[in-house]
Amino acid sequence: MTFNAWIKTVTFYDILVGMKATMSHMLHYKSVTLQYPHEKRTLPDNYRGMLSLLRYDDGTEKCVGCDLCEAACPSRVIRVVSAEVPGEPTKRYAKEYYMDMTRCLFCGLCVDACPVDALGMTREFEWSVYDKRQLDLNKEQLLAIGDRSFPVREKQLELQHPNVAFFNVAFKHLPQKPS
């Protein structure tokens, strides 16, 4: 042990450096936390929150009942009962659509898998309930979430680029936004 190291040991030098650090944090106190229920942080644009089913602007459901979301889901959250649209044998729709949100891990794979953009991830995250069964959502509830979270059914700005919009099946009939 060198003399310097010995001096540092007997004067608790390293401890004093640490105590100076904590003291400077207290003197230049700036909280990094938020008072959550009273103030909420701004969420990023690509936040993956509560799942929802979307509608077209005319109020009809986008979902065509293809079951691809059910296939894509790693946690088996989604259960789709597909059926023909009455009177239109070429079209199908989701007669029943269930999401057991207790199992959802919010990976967004179902949203990616959907060919008609019928699924969307909202920014809602305050979904704590007293009864777990309230998290087993049916089609009406999921559509209601979509209605209140996406009042204007436009694609996100980055998805409106022509190169991407080519794959945007749902909005083919709409004129592209001028860029």
Partner 1 sequence: MTELSLRLAVSFAQILAEMSIVMITVATMTYFERKVLGWMQDRMGPMEVGPYGLLQPVADGIKLFFKEDIVPAGANKAMFALAPMLTMVVSMIGFAVIPFGPNMTWDIFGMRIKPFVVADINIGILYILAIASIGAYGIILGGWASNSKYSLLGGLRAAAQVISYELNVGLAIVGVLLLAGTLSLVEITEAQSGGFWHWFIWGGRPDGFFPIHTQIFAFVVFIISAVAETNRIPFDLPEAESELVAGFFTEYSGMRFAFFVSAEYANMTLVSCVAAALFLGGWNAPYPGTILEYAGLEQLAWVEHIVWFAAKVYFFLFLFIWIRATLPRLRYDQLMRFGWKVMLPIALANIIITSITLYFFPRV
Contact residues for partner 1, defined by CB under 8 A: 15, 18-19, 21-23, 25-26, 29-33, 35
- Number of Cβ within 10 Å of residue 91's Cβ equals 11
Report in angstroms how near the CB of residue 123 gets to partner 1 at its nearest.
25
Rounded least distance, CB 38 to partner 1, Å = 9
| Integer Cα distance of 129 and 125 in angstroms | 12
Residue 131 Cβ, how far from partner 1 at the closest point, in Å?
24
Q: Which is nearer to partner 1, 39 or 45 (CB)?
A: 39
DSSP-based three-state secondary structure for 173: coil
What is the nearest approach in angstroms of partner 1 to the Cβ of residue 82? 49
> Nearer Cβ to partner 1, position 35 or 163?
35
Question: Taking the alpha carbons of 54, 93, 107, 141 in that order, is the dihedral positive or negative?
Answer: positive
Q: Which is nearer to partner 1, 32 or 152 (CB)?
A: 32
Residue closer to partner 1, measured from CB, 39 or 58: 39
Q: Do residues 65 and 71 lie in contact, with contact meaning Cβ atoms separated by under 8 Å?
A: no
DSSP bridge partners of 79: 98
Q: Classify each residue of 156-166 as buried b or exposed e, where b means 16 or more C-beta atoms within 10 Å of its C-beta.
A: eeeebeeeeee
